[in-house]
Chain A
């Protein structure tokens, strides 16, 4: 394309596209335009929580706890807000230490407490009593979660401690002995394989001599057995 008037190429493309794709489409909602006010004190916290929604990493959890520390310091004089932040921090620390084994309720709690914190902190005209009421629902939620986690732990310990009943224990021991005896008596197939392995280092002549000896021995044994049988009949 020519360098002359290049600045208008993009404009020309855009106006051409407008002509081609003219329609009564509703005004485009460019995602970047909406969202959180830039000066919200919870903006950082919200960003971290959204990233935790996608992936729980050590780094994200450490950042979360750090951000909560900062907010706790900022709102140290507001008892209600402080409790909201502590609930979040407790859940955050638990998720950080338990990682993939964390109770799914803990992540749900993290989000629900955050949503309420946003209401409590950013809503204008909310009374202290209303704040307290919202906080109490989360304290209850936290207590329930704690119980569920304790139950989960207890059931895991129980699983580990389960002993085999005596009759099953005996059956297992019997089975193990049986397997050991079977291992001692080698099957014919196994003996043949061993023999083949032993012969593998012999020359063909040696193998032939060995086989002939074996055949002679078998014939001798057969004759001996036959003689003994005839003798016994004579008697």
Chain B
């Protein structure tokens, strides 16, 4: 459940961008930060080591304003996708309210997507959360690479392999150019808020 401070009339939503390494999680946050910086007016905090790969996490907090008298704050996180940083992923998932799974559409990344989704399920379970119940959106990223002749998994294949059981909203995207980045974010925030609403009723 999201953090609700009744005294301060504040709701905090923690959204985690999850997925295989090099899949575009950080690019999603970078796009949101650069494109909407005038409106969200906060800094993207990135703790990085070992070159340009995310080995810890990125953090982007912003307010969406007052909803029914409550100040709604959203915190976006990314996790390191590399297999060996599972402890960090588990830590970042603590208290998560919603997840965006950023899948890499490249054909060569097929197994990595699957392993990462399985890993998400396991890591959520360590926090007593169920992948089938938590607000979740799938984003099939890097669709723009098709223009460069890079073999991509078809949307049908991605849906079959990753979403046949989950049956959650999914979007084709290109985080690099921003296609459906905001749409994905809007969807996950809406789903998470709907869950918060149902808990508060």
Do the beta carbons of B183 and A25 come within 8 Å of each other? yes
A51 interface residue per 8 A CB criterion: yes
Looking at chain B's contact residues, the main secondary structure is helix
Given A18-B186, A53-B160, is A30 in contact with B179 using a C-beta cutoff of 8 Å? no
Looking at chain A's contact residues, the main secondary structure is helix
Which one, A9, A18, A46, A54, contacts B67 given CB within 8 A? A9
A157 to B125, CA, bound (A): 48
B68 partner residues in chain A, CB cutoff 8 A: 1-2, 5, 9, 12
Do the beta carbons of B171 and A54 come within 8 Å of each other? no
Q: Among A5, A20, A30, A34, which residue has the most Cβ atoms of chain B within 10 A?
A: A20
B193 interface residue per 8 A CB criterion: yes
A14 to B186, CA, bound (A): 7
Which one, B65, B110, B161, B186, contacts A21 given CB within 8 A? B186
A23 interface residue per 8 A CB criterion: yes
A5 to B67, CA, bound (A): 12
Size of the chain B interface, CB-CB below 8 angstroms: 43
A30 partner residues in chain B, CB cutoff 8 A: 169-171
Residues 106-117 of chain B, each 1 if its beta carbon lies under 8 Å from chain A, else 0 = 000010001000
A103 to B11, CA, bound (A): 56
Do the beta carbons of B182 and A31 come within 8 Å of each other? no
A25 partner residues in chain B, CB cutoff 8 A: 178-183
- Least Cβ–Cβ distance between B14 and chain A, in angstroms: 16
Do the beta carbons of A10 and B200 come within 8 Å of each other? no
B67 partner residues in chain A, CB cutoff 8 A: 9, 12-13, 16
**Sample of 21 A–B contacts (CB below 8 Å):** A1-B68, A1-B70, A6-B197, A6-B200, A10-B193, A12-B68, A13-B193, A18-B186, A21-B39, A23-B178, A25-B178, A25-B180, A25-B183, A29-B171, A30-B170, A31-B155, A31-B159, A36-B156, A46-B156, A50-B157, A53-B161
Given A35-B156, A53-B160, 16 more contacts at CB 8 Å?
A: A1-B11, A1-B197, A13-B64, A13-B190, A20-B64, A21-B36, A28-B171, A28-B183, A31-B155, A31-B159, A31-B163, A32-B169, A35-B155, A50-B161, A53-B161, A54-B160
**Residues of A in contact with B (beta carbons under 8 Å apart):** 1-3, 5-6, 9-10, 12-14, 16-18, 20-21, 23, 25-26, 28-32, 34-36, 46-47, 50-51, 53-54
